[in-house]
């Protein structure tokens, strides 16, 4: 069987970006109409930055990774991901962020989330703590090394575990998933062929089923290791505050 170095389905699923697309829905307000009556509508106004942060983060205390789309990257993740380089490390690091994507028109004066971005030279994306502090602005043209450094610096403040080490371990898990997916697919094809040719009572069928069952056990073992690696343990809020102060103070 020729070697297939492409990621298989399990790894692809693990590498999917989990975007949150927040929508601000204020209470209905009464607005005067041309005929002297009133119509119900939604007020469109830029929220204060603190209120906008509360709206996008909800009760999630993970650090934030916020991307605004532009006319060039709309519908893509180009502001975050490289078109030429392997993005797997970036994608795995996002697992410990609350990832938010905002539309192109977020920079219009009346957009509720306008004040998340500076009035002059607004960043294409930024990282920050859940409360909006420790902001790291990026212009969308950053190198992977610059992006990883910023992500890892913030994760080190916010989590007890080591994100760099966890990423290395998870990448090994993805490689194992690829092997298991490929073997399982091969054995299932052979099982169907053997069932058609020799029938369900064939010893070959039982042997192939045992191999498939063994793969399921191996997969469960990998999943357990992956789950442990993903659990970096978010610092309690007070501890995270103290850690951030310590980093700033050197």
pLDDT tens profile 200-218: 888 999 999 999 999 999 9
pLDDT in tens, 182-196: 999 999 999 999 988
Same domain, 199 and 135: no
More confidently predicted of 70 and 30:
70
Q: Are residues 16 and 139 in the same domain?
A: yes
Place of tokens 């975007």: 19
Residues 95 and 189 grouped into a single domain: no
* CATH number, domain containing residue 144: 3.40.30
Q: For residue 86, which of 18, 5, 28 has the smallest C-alpha distance?
A: 5
Q: Are residues 135 and 197 in the same domain?
A: no
Predicted confidence (pLDDT) at residue 177 exceeds the cutoff of 50: yes
Which residues span the domain enclosing 21? 9-158
Higher pLDDT, residue 244 or 223: 223
Look over the chain and give the mean of its residue pLDDT values, rounded to a whole number: 90
What per-residue confidence (pLDDT) applies to 210? 96
> What is the model's pTM?
0.86
Please tell me whether residues 174 and 140 are part of one structural domain: no
- Asked if residue 241 is part of any domain, the answer here is no
> How far is the C-alpha of 24 from the C-alpha of 27, rounded, in Å?
10
Residues 153 and 174 both lie in one domain: no
Per the CB < 8 A criterion, the answer to whether 58 and 131 are in contact is no
Q: Is the pLDDT of residue 91 over 50?
A: yes
Which of 158, 178, 198 lies at the terminal end of a domain, its last residue? 158
């Amino acid at each position: 069987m020729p070697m297939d170095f492409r990621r298989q389905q399990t790894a692809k699923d693990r590498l999917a970006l989990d975007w949150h697309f927040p929508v601000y829905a204020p209470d209905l307000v009464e607005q005067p109409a041309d005929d002297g009556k009133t119509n119900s509508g939604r007020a469109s106004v830029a929220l204060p930055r603190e209120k906008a942060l509360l709206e996008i983060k909800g009760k999630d205390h993970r650090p934030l990774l916020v991307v605004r789309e532009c006319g060039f990257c709309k519908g893509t993740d180009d502001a975050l991901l490289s078109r030429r380089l392997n993005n797997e490390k970036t994608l795995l690091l996002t697992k410990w962020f609350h990832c938010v994507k905002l539309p192109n028109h977020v920079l219009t004066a009346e957009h509720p989330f306008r004040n998340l971005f500076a009035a002059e030279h607004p960043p294409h994306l930024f990282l920050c703590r859940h409360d909006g502090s420790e902001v790291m602005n990026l212009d969308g043209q950053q190198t992977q090394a610059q992006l990883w450094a910023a992500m890892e610096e913030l994760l080190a403040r916010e989590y007890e575990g080591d994100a760099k080490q966890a990423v290395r371990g998870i990448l090994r898990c993805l490689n194992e998933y690829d092997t298991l997916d490929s073997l399982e697919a091969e054995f299932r094809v052979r099982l169907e062929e053997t069932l058609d040719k020799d029938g369900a009572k064939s010893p070959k069928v039982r042997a192939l089923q045992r191999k498939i069952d063994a793969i399921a056990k191996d997969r469960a073992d990998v999943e357990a290791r992956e789950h442990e690696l993903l659990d970096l343990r978010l610092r309690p809020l007070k501890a995270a505050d103290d850690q951030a102060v310590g980093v700033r103070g050197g």
